[in-house]
Amino acid sequence: MPILVGLIGLLACALLLEFAVDIGWVMQLVVPRPSDTILAFPEVQEDMDLIGNFFVTLAMTAAATLLALGIGIPFGYFLYRKERYGIAYEGWLAAAFAAPTVLLYPLFLVIFGRSHATLIAMGFIPGAIPIIIQTRQGLLGVSRTLLNVGRSFNVSDRDMFWKIQLPSAVPTIFTGIRIGVMYTLVNIVAIEYLIDFGGLGRIVSEMYFRFDTPGTYASIIAVVFVSVFFYWGFGRIEKWLRPV
């Protein structure tokens, strides 16, 4: 039912926008008719291989996200265990997350060259920071009652982490993961747009400079589908990891 309601709302918005463009309330040069955007998909696919570039952006985002997870969660746990380091570095991490790291792309182009490594590195940085912060916050927020119950049963530190702390911190950690995925995708698409190196960002750039408004919006919708895929996937994983 929630999915159905959401689809009905999306359809209603599309019909309203179609009507607004038809009667001139919205300039077609700025926002095309939704029907024109849908019809643009086959043309963009034939001209720019939309599906192939969709999987390129998807793969780059997945690689950067996995790297962010592999470093972010252990480092967040380290900051949780070492209270002094956690207090000292949390503010710096928050400041780094607020900084426009996408502006560092010339430096990474010099280091990695015009390659997929640059995309992954630029996506990894903004993705790892919220994971680190939220992992620490999630572990700090574990109920003392649960910890005391675990200690009363002489649970080992390893079992305490895997069976009590991690399941309790899962919702907070996955909040950080979702934020990280969003910023990872934004950075990767932005770099693809700026350096014209494959992926959906390159298609958005090409369609934009051709003044092909329906094609631009069609490629943007493809980016949205990448985001939806990751949100759906991590939602399923979170549901599996959460305690019953």
Instruction: Decide if 31 contacts 17 (C-beta within 8 A).
Output: yes
In a domain, 8, yes or no: no
User: Mind listing the pLDDT tens digit for each residue in 184-211?
Assistant: 999 999 998 888 778 899 999 889 888 8
* Residue for token pair 């094609």: 215
In a domain, 136, yes or no: yes
In a domain, 188, yes or no: yes
Which domain does 79 fall in, by range?
A: 40-241
Confidence tier at 218 by pLDDT (50, 70, 90): very high
What CATH number does residue 50 fall under? 1.10.3720.10
Instruction: Decide if 204 contacts 40 (C-beta within 8 A).
Output: no
Quick check: 128 pLDDT over 90? yes
Q: Hey, what amino acid is at 141?
A: G
User: Mind listing the pLDDT tens digit for each residue in 47-78?
Assistant: 888 999 999 999 999 999 999 999 999 999 99
pLDDT of residue 240: 84
Quick check: 39 pLDDT over 60? yes
Confidence tier at 244 by pLDDT (50, 70, 90): low
Q: Please give the Cα distance from 200 to 219 (Å, whole number).
A: 6
The alpha carbon of 13 is separated from its chain's Cα centroid by a whole number of angstroms, namely 25
Measured between alpha carbons, how far apart are the two ends of the chain, in Å? 23
Confidence tier at 112 by pLDDT (50, 70, 90): confident
In a domain, 16, yes or no: no
Query: Which of 17, 118, 23, 123 lies closest to 68, judged by CA?
Result: 123
In a domain, 164, yes or no: yes
Computed on alpha carbons and rounded to an integer, the radius of gyration of the chain in Å comes to 22
> Can you count the helices (H) and strands (E) in the chain?
11, 0
In a domain, 59, yes or no: yes
Tokens read off for 143: 């109920």
Tokens read off for 163: 């069976």
240 against 219, higher pLDDT: 219
150 against 70, higher pLDDT: 70
Q: How much is the average pLDDT of 119-147?
A: 90
- The number of distinct structural domains making up the chain is 1
Q: Please give the Cα distance from 214 to 19 (Å, whole number).
A: 16
Percent over 70 (pLDDT), the chain: 99
Q: What is the mean pLDDT of the chain?
A: 88
In a domain, 34, yes or no: no
pTM: 0.87
Quick check: 93 pLDDT over 70? yes
- Angstrom CA distances, 134 to 76, 83, 96, 185, 189, stand at 8, 15, 15, 19, 24
